[in-house]
Amino acid sequence: MERKTRVGIFESENPAEIQLIKSKLDEAGIANFTQNSYMTFTTTPTATTLQVQVDLESEQKAFEIIDAYLQESDLDLEDNLKK
C-alpha cells in the first residue's frame, strides 16, 4: 500500500473558516483532512488551531483555490467598508 504525504495548507482557530475552506476544496474535488493541534506556548494551553491538509500532489491546486477565495473575501470586505 502506497503511503500518501499530506501537507498543511491552511490554519485557523475559527472552525467556521476551516469548514468554508474545506467546502471550497471539496467543490474542486480535492480530498482534504483536518487536524487539531495545540497552539504554541505563546497562547493559552487550551487554545487549539485547526489545520487543513491535502495530499502533496494536490497542494498547488489547493493553494490556488484558497488564494482565489481570500482575494474574493478581501474584495467583499473592502466593498462593505466603503458603504
Task: Report strand pairing: 6-12 vs 32-38.
Answer: unpaired
pLDDT at residue number 37? 66
DSSP code, position 45: T
Q: How far apart are CA 52 and CA 4, in angstroms?
A: 15
Claim: this prediction has a pTM higher than 0.85: no
pLDDT tens digits, 7-33: 999 998 888 889 999 999 999 999 999
Q: Which three cell numbers stand for residue 46?
A: 487550551
| Ordered domains of the chain (ranges, CATH) | 6-82 (3.30.70)
pLDDT at residue number 48? 75
Does pLDDT of 40 surpass 60?
Answer: no
